Amino acid sequence: MSKKPVLPVLVVIAHGSRDPRHAATVDALVRGVRSLRPGLRVETGFLDFNVPSVHGVLESLAAEGVREVVALPLLLTRAFHAKADIPAVLRDAPSQLRIRQADVLGPSPLLLTALERRLYEAGLTPADKSSTGVVLASAGSTDPEAIAVIAEIAREWRRTGWCAVRPAFASASLPRTEDAVRELRALGCSRIAVAPYVLAPGFLPDRIARGAAEADVLADVLGPAPEVAQVLLRRYDSARTPVLAAVGA
């Protein structure tokens, strides 16, 4: 009888934060991933502030004899962390590990579903869409590619029936959340909602919340929404296929 192939370990790479809510939210999301795929080993490493570090997790896995790893950036856009920080950390991993870096989570239709889930949990209903303007509030970036992606997500989401959708940024880029709220109010939307396009609480999400003071509805961060866990597994599956093919070649 042939042995069942060993699945690559999924290492979720989170940013990390001094805010304890960040690590708690990442942990809840990872628990959701494990519940969806019980046979998959999932570990978490942080780039900064929290432990274990990414390097520490990879060292431990190598010491155990693990050979195949999929490293998944817990990021919504391809900006500096995905393009520079994470590849640099992975280059320093133990040489016996074979690592593939998965794509970032966004954009994905599932994430739009998660955003709407959070808005409905905050009190909106599908019947409110046509009269509600939404601020898609992200952390912000100096990377033009990341900014363009957020703008495109806003355009796409608008086509699903909202009165209007405007992107906003908590740092590095403009407009700010409060400016987008005022723009939508001036546009004539009867209700304004702010949807944080961020994964976990922290300094920038708190800034988004302050910018939403004049909005009617403020949704929660995406956090451990089931759709986010599903996206993680899709990114894992896409990344691991070449690894398994190479092992069997």
Q: What is the pLDDT of residues 61-117, one digit of tens each?
A: 999 999 999 999 999 999 877 888 999 999 999 999 999 999 999 999 999 999 999
Give every CB contact of residue 170 below 8 A, 6+ residues apart in sequence: 137, 138, 139, 140, 176, 177, 204, 205, 207, 208, 211
Which amino acid would we find at residue 78?
A: R
- Overall pTM surpassing 0.85 (yes/no): yes
Q: Residue 25's closest CA among 8, 44, 1, 39?
A: 44
pLDDT 10s digits, 204-228: 999 999 999 999 999 999 999 999 9
Q: For 33-60, what is each residue's pLDDT tens digit? A: 999 999 999 999 999 999 999 999 999 9
Please tell me whether residue 109 adopts helix, strand or coil conformation. Answer: helix
Rounded to 5°, the CA angle 64-69-70 comes to 155
Q: What is the pLDDT of residues 117-128, one digit of tens each?
A: 999 999 999 999
